[in-house]
Amino acid sequence: MIENSMFEEEPDVVDLAKEPCLHPLEPDEVEYEPRSSRLLVRGLGEHEIDDDEEDYESSAKLLGMSFMNRSSGLRNNMSVYRQNPNGSCSVPSTRTMVVCTVVLVIAVSLIMAIYLLPKCTFSKEGCHKKNHTMELIYPLATNGKLFPWAKIRLPPDVVPLHYDLVLQPNLTTLKFAGSVKIVVNIIHVTWKIVLHSSGLNITKATITSAGGHQAKSVEFLEYPLHDQIAVMAPEALLVGQNYTVNIEYSSNLSDTYYGFYKISYKDENSKQRWFAATQFEPLAARSAFPCFDEPAFKATFLIKIKRDEKLSTLSNMPKKATTPVTNGIVQDEFFVSLKMSTYLVAFVVADLKNISRETNGSLVSVYAIPQHLNQVGYALNTAVKLLEFYQKYFFINYPLEKLDLVAIPDFQSGAMENWGLITFRETTLLFDSNTSSARDKKLITAVIAHELAHQWFGNLVTMEWWNDLWLNEGFATFMEYFAMEEIFPELHSDEDLLNLIFKAMMKDSLNSSHPVSSAVQSSEQIEEMFDALSYIKGASLLLMLKHYLTKDVFQAGIEVYLHNHNYGSAQSDDLWDSMNEITNGTLDVKKLMKTWILHKGFPLVTVVRKGKNISVQQEKFLYRVEPENWTADASYLWHIPLTYITSSCNFTHCTNAYLLDQKSAVIELPEEVEWIKFNVDMNGYYIVHYAEDWKTLIDLLKKNHTALSPKDRANLINNIFNLAGLGKESLEKAFELIDYLNKESSTAPLTQALFQLSLIYSLLEKKGEQQLAARVMHRIEHLLGDKIDQQRWTDDGTLSERELRSTLLAFACTHNMRNCRATATEMFEKWMKSNGTMSLPSDVMKAIFTAGAKSSNGWEFLLKMYSSSVSEAEKSKMIEALASTEDVRKLIWLMQNCLEGEVIRAQELSHIIATISQSLPGYLLAWDFVKENWEKLTRKFHLGSYTIQNIISSSTSQFATKAHLLEVKSFFESKSEESSQLRCVKEAIDTIQLNIQWMERNLAKLQELL
């Protein structure tokens, strides 16, 4: 895209049509840059290379001067009319007029001819069929010279083979020095090596040929807009040859959560200590060392780290040796790594303690700061079990001799799968038996399962480019829940996946959604791929495929995929090809799955039952918020693996399948049935509308709800409320369906009903419809009141029962339902009187803290206890309670302090904003905070990051007025183009428009219904 600003004044133009360029660009390599940093280069073709070309900077200067001289000459000779001394103009003679006219006609004719003919007509090479008359753009390097590459993606001329990396972080000055030697192989003859570097102060660069012993100093150019540097070779680099590039540099440890960054924490004696860790995915390895920072550029790494002898270091590989350097400084050298992508490189420098256990030849260790060592036992046991499971399932052993799991005191993500050195936020790794709830245990198990799955999906086989991120994240999410079901069935993790799929479908139903596999280029676009669609929709599509192929065929396909591409890169088609090797022509998996991953959204299947015949018809499920901007694709067809059960046999083994690969079809049953339920256990990624049959299913739930599984019941609740939002079904019928809930005891349907009703309550409350909101809450109490009364304030029961207790009591206390808040307040006051020493049941701790934080004294005490607590699980519950106060000044202080990271770490900010946004006193405050601190937020968390996505979504999702819609639009339009074009911004605008539409459609109906 060329900015409008480029037309405001003439750019610098360099006509190089007759001067072949040393580093030609293909037409599709053109990137349009801001006007201030570009030069236009006309008529360059890929074959126009001249071996004895002049220095291109000198050429540009000379040509630029000659252009200006010709221009000034023209101006000087244009005085046909001469001025008399008195100021009047003398009339030229007839002869002069005739001559001028002839000259003018000839000149115009020549100019027209030259203009209409291809430029290459007058060059010595003549015209090539491709690339002629193409205007290409070279950017300018920081020193004003031409930078020899214009694309965001690196050129394919050079590939890295091996890195020798030496780093010396200083945890006193908070800076680091480094040197890297990169062995590269030449694929195409070139004079340049273009690689990534961001924020590094490069002091020296040399290059050595494979047989040479003399390192030659080289010029290097920097182009910060693309985070690229170009090492300019003194002679042509030859195909098939290896060269070593040596670069020395220094930088500051980052104060964001990216790259090689610093963390402060307090030790057991409340003394401030420093910790250095890395987070490179997706694009931050380049800020720790110059490298080819794209996932397909795999190489091996030898890492050496110089450190204070009192600290310890960890990296991807086991430590090989430690040698003294100078007084108090030693160097740790690690074994050479396996071939891997740069984003998986990792190192940590800190004071850490660990416990370890060996399994199948690999040493598994869990590390934490010393005061947390007593909380790592559960993680170690879980990691060992999961590692053993994955090795058996994939038929590929974990290839490293060690696997470290490290709890990082300040970490933006949940965890990061660096090969052999997985880094975690403390809340996702540390389990405290006194304060960690059933939900905490499930979270820790899920995150470990996800990151260990990445050791195969992502590390062993990596997506070729970020457009296929779902191959990493969708697979790891799918395996996470599959492994948990197999090893930890008591956790009922499948119910969590169900709820996540429901939420992903909400996002995917908007016009601002995107295909699972989407073209991306810029850093913001890449960051935004880390969203619910890559993770959850990706996992859901794999779940659907597994059920359709059967688990054995699916597992065999995965084995083929991993074996065919190990230590390499893959695209989506490679996975489908591997599956097709197993199906062997019986099913074209590629044809089936391409209809799902290359298209946004999902189908709505309408079912009409007439006797034994079941008519099914598909269309796109889409909320139309702005018809003029709506992307119409009504003709699009998914290949939908439908599943269904009927009244004649409703057990899992009775599940029937039908592939709907047309707009509509008729399924003939062997006999008439009382009812039919499609999308068994929500194993398919689609919504079902039962038309006239909704009444049959509503009656079934009232009479015998256990005829359907808990997941099927949750699926029906989700589908009917979504259809009511779409206008395909009435809200009255949706409320009628959930009337059976007073008989419900399973977590999945209760959680889904509570979620749907809470959405309605929140919209009404923020819209100022307090009386109607109160009637919604009364309806919830009518349905769930008895269930709330049955909950005990203990940690008894199965994990599923305990989790339901946490959900129901936290909800009841927040909304002052039954006597929940009175009981919780009484328990909080006893805990406060004991100065926090009294033990509280972990499953109801959040409800107790939330009730206690309603009073000013309780809030202050909770903040004091937060500062001194050593349990991350306990602190997480305290934060949510602190953010639930109705005191506006406290809420403002909480957000501001968290952004500054003084008392509460900045990693908690998106969670705090989301909690504050839910309350009536807080939802406008949260949005104001985001507006006032936008630049700080995007500097700390990066545009497009998952944190920024969550902050935008949570701070705007409660709006339902045209005034708020205009305000949100205007705010982002006033920011940079990168901000205003974020997909999450468009999603926020879509959501507000939907809220407005929903209120207009349903407000009057709700007043009748409730």
Strand order in the sheet with 201-209: 216-217, 201-209, 242-252, 175-186, 158-170, 300-308, 329-334, 319-326
User: What is the CB neighbour count within 10 angstroms for residue 948?
Assistant: 25
**What gap in Å lies between CA 742 and CA 761, rounded to an integer?**
19
Helix (H, G, I), strand (E, B) or coil at 414: coil
User: What is the CB neighbour count within 10 angstroms for residue 455?
Assistant: 25
Of 448, 160, 408, the closest CA to residue 279 belongs to 408
Answer whether 288's CB lies under 8 Å from 253's CB.
no
Element housing 96 (H / E): helix 94-116
**What gap in Å lies between CA 382 and CA 585, rounded to an integer?**
40
**What gap in Å lies between CA 727 and CA 735, rounded to an integer?**
15
**What gap in Å lies between CA 760 and CA 116, rounded to an integer?**
65
Name 993's Cβ contacts closer than 8 Å, sequence gap at least 6: 625, 626, 965
**What gap in Å lies between CA 880 and CA 853, rounded to an integer?**
10
Residue with tokens 């009591």: 809
DSSP line for 280-346: -TTTTGGGTS-B--STT--BEEEEEEEEETTSEEEESS-EEEEEEEETTEEEEEEPPPPSB-GGG--
**What gap in Å lies between CA 164 and CA 254, rounded to an integer?**
22
Answer whether 955's CB lies under 8 Å from 927's CB.
yes
Write the single-letter amino acid at 777.
Answer: M
C-alpha distance from residue 252 to each of 164, 287, 926 (Å): 21, 10, 32
Of 645, 733, 638, 722, the closest CA to residue 683 belongs to 645
Choose the catalytic residue: 281, 451, 527, 803.
Answer: 451
Asked about 451 being catalytic, the answer comes back as yes
**What gap in Å lies between CA 390 and CA 405, rounded to an integer?**
17
Structure token digits, residue 910 = 């998106």
Helix (H, G, I), strand (E, B) or coil at 1006: helix
Write the single-letter amino acid at 85.
Answer: P
Give the end-to-end CA distance of the chain in Å, rounded to a whole number: 53
Structure token digits, residue 450 = 């996800």
Answer whether 259's CB lies under 8 Å from 287's CB.
yes
Beta bridge partners of 314: 348
Residue with tokens 């205003």: 980
Name 860's Cβ contacts closer than 8 Å, sequence gap at least 6: none
**What gap in Å lies between CA 474 and CA 466, rounded to an integer?**
13
Helix (H, G, I), strand (E, B) or coil at 979: helix
**What gap in Å lies between CA 245 and CA 202, rounded to an integer?**
13
**What gap in Å lies between CA 453 and CA 386, rounded to an integer?**
9
Write the single-letter amino acid at 825.
Answer: T
Pairing, β 158-170 against β 228-237: unpaired
Residue 199: left if φ>0, alpha if ψ -120 to 50, beta else—which one? left
- Helix H, strand E, coil C: the string for 821-832 is HHHHHHHHHHHH
Write the single-letter amino acid at 198.
Answer: S
**What gap in Å lies between CA 739 and CA 615, rounded to an integer?**
28
Of 755, 754, 723, 760, the closest CA to residue 741 belongs to 754
Write the single-letter amino acid at 498.
Answer: L
Kindly list the catalytic residues: 451
